[in-house]
Amino acid sequence: HAKKLGLSTYQVFEPKMHSHTVELLQIENDLRRAVENKDLRVYYQPIINLSNREITGFETLVRWQHQTRGFINPDDFIPLAEETGLIIPLGRFVLQNACEKMQQWRSAYTEAKDWVIHVNVSGKQLCQSNFVAELQAILKQTEMLPQNLKLEVTESVFLNQVPRVMEILHELQFLGIQLALDDFGTGYSSLSYLHKLPFKTLKIDRSFIQDLEINNDKLGILRAIVSLATHLGMDVVAEGIETPHQMAQLKALKCEYGQGYLFSKPLDSELMEAWFQAECLSQEEQKACNLRTE
Ligand code: C2E
Ligand code: MG
Ligand code: MG
Ligand code: MG
């Protein structure tokens, strides 16, 4: 009987557990190799001034080009990267690429002079002992000014090691690097602590923008968030704008900046360059057209 039970237990649990563990190990191995071989791509999504549609900067979003599984989105591997510590070399790769690309654009296009590049940083990455030193080395090597870099962190960085996190954030602020609080509205989102933190920018999570048309409660919350952030002297970026109507509502709330598929999906650097060339050209044409009709 015991043997039978053992067998059935084995049949029910073991193969599944086994294949799950094997798969996880496999993915971890693949990710390690991807980081080593740099099978990662940095995508860019524009951040737009909603009042004049001008580009103010870009958010960098990493993608993993897996040899057999195709493109993998960050939500499916960043948690694993954090768990395994691979986030540290991965994050370094993204930062290096983002700064290099920004400097290229800044030297090639006059419109790019004041563009700011946003880079997502996870808690584990931020708290690694030499994060600030490595970041400074990248800035120096790429000749990038600290004020042209904005690091995005989510509220989850405050889940542990709060004094340490605060120390690093203040250090970054002291160096002139800008800071954004990402995905605001999804975590604890305590409005009362905002003024104590060194964030220049508040990014409102996509979930608030998505059903803006139909959900009046969300509109109310959004209005309160924008108003508070503005009073605290912060910039507000709305994430995930997909329709002209959402944009109009955000403008009515005096939300200054936005990002989303309405403007552009995240694109690789070449496609993004083509996108902003076309965009800047059409803006110039519009301006010339306005002048002619005035
Ligand atoms: P996030 O920082 O909040 O980035 C915004 C996400 O919203 C991106 O997803 C972007 O593609 C998506 N998005 C932008 N506009 C729209 C829209 O109009 N509609 C919809 N449906 N989605 C939109 P993505 O690229 O899949 O990234 C997911 C998350 O992964 C990011 O959320 C960020 O937390 C994390 N992540 C991405 N790259 C990095 C990285 O280099 N380092 C770290 N630590 N995390 C990263
Ligand atoms: Mg972000
Ligand atoms: Mg976000
Ligand atoms: Mg997010």
- Is 233's pLDDT higher than 60? yes
What pLDDT score was predicted for residue 10?
A: 43
DSSP 195: G
* Torsion angle defined by CA atoms of residues 247, 253, 258 and 263, in that order, rounded to the nearest 10 degrees: 10
More confident position, 34 or 285 = 34
Compute CA distances 187 → 1, 157, 181, 183, 202, whole Å. Answer: 51, 11, 11, 8, 13
Compute CA distances 43 → 59, 94, 98, 256, 257, whole Å. Answer: 8, 10, 9, 23, 20
For ligand 1, atom 15: residue with the closest CA? 260
89 lines ligand 1 (CB under 6 A): no
73 lines ligand 1 (CB under 6 A): yes
Complex ipTM: 0.98
In degrees and rounded to multiples of 5, residue 120 shows phi and psi of -75, 135
CA–centroid distance, 290 to ligand 4, in Å, is 38
246 lines ligand 1 (CB under 6 A): no
Taking residues 261-280, report their average pLDDT. Answer: 95
The three-class DSSP label of residue 43 is: strand
| Cα 286 from Cα 268, distance rounded (Å) | 27
Taking residues 97-102, report their average pLDDT. Answer: 97
Taking residues 97-118, report their average pLDDT. Answer: 96
What pLDDT score was predicted for residue 8?
A: 43
74 lines ligand 1 (CB under 6 A): yes
125-156 in b/e form (b: 16+ CB < 10 A) is: bbebeebbebbeebbeebebebebbbbbbbbe
Indicate the pLDDT class of residue 4, thresholds 50, 70 and 90. Answer: very low
- Is 269's pLDDT higher than 50? yes
Residue type, 186: T
- Is 281's pLDDT higher than 80? no
- Is 180's pLDDT higher than 60? yes
What pLDDT score was predicted for residue 212?
A: 80
CA–centroid distance, 236 to ligand 3, in Å, is 12
94 lines ligand 1 (CB under 6 A): yes
- Is 9's pLDDT higher than 60? no
Q: Is 197 left (phi over 0), alpha (psi -120 to 50) or beta?
A: beta
| Cα 246 from Cα 167, distance rounded (Å) | 37
pTM for this model (two decimals): 0.91
Nearest Cα residue to 40 out of 81, 82, 84, 99 = 81
Taking residues 235-246, report their average pLDDT. Answer: 97
For ligand 1, atom 41: residue with the closest CA? 62
